[in-house]
Amino acid sequence: EVQLVESGGGLVQTGGSLRLSCAASGFTFGDYAMSWVRQAPGKGLEWVSSINPSGKYRSLANSVKGRFTISRDNDRNTLYLQMNSLTPEDTAVYYCEKWRSPLYYTGDYQPASSDYRGQGTELTVSS
C-alpha cells in the first residue's frame, strides 16, 4: 500500500524558514518522480515543485523560485521541501505527490501525472 506522510509544518513568522518532509512507503521510491503541491485557504491546489527519480532534475513554480528547494533522499525514502524567506502568501496545506509512471519526469507538471497524495501538513506564516 502506497503511503505518503508529510511532516514539518507549523507556525512561522514572515521571513522565516522551515523544512517539510514526506516519508514514502509501499513503492520503490527511487523509481518515481515526486512533487509538492499546496492549497491555500479557500483556493485550489497549486503546484509548487517537482523532482525526477534520481534527484538530478528539479522544477519550481515561479512563485517560490529562489526561496524553496526540493530534494530527496532515496536511501531514506524521503522527500523534502526547504522553504526560506516565507511570506503570508505561502500559508497553505502542503502535500507531497507520487508520480504515476516509473522512471518518468518532465518539468511541465500536470495533475494527471500523479496518482497518490499524502494527507498534508499545514504551514501558517504570520505577518
pLDDT band at 98 (very low <50, low <70, confident <90, very high): very high
Assigned C-alpha cell, 44: 485550489
Average pLDDT value for residue range 56-71: 97
pLDDT digits (tens, 9 = 90+) for 11-22: 999 999 999 999
Check whether 66 has a pLDDT greater than 90: yes
Phi, psi of 79 (to 5 degrees): -110, 145
Average pLDDT value for residue range 98-119: 93
Q: Which of 42, 39, 30 is nearest to 6 (CA)?
A: 39
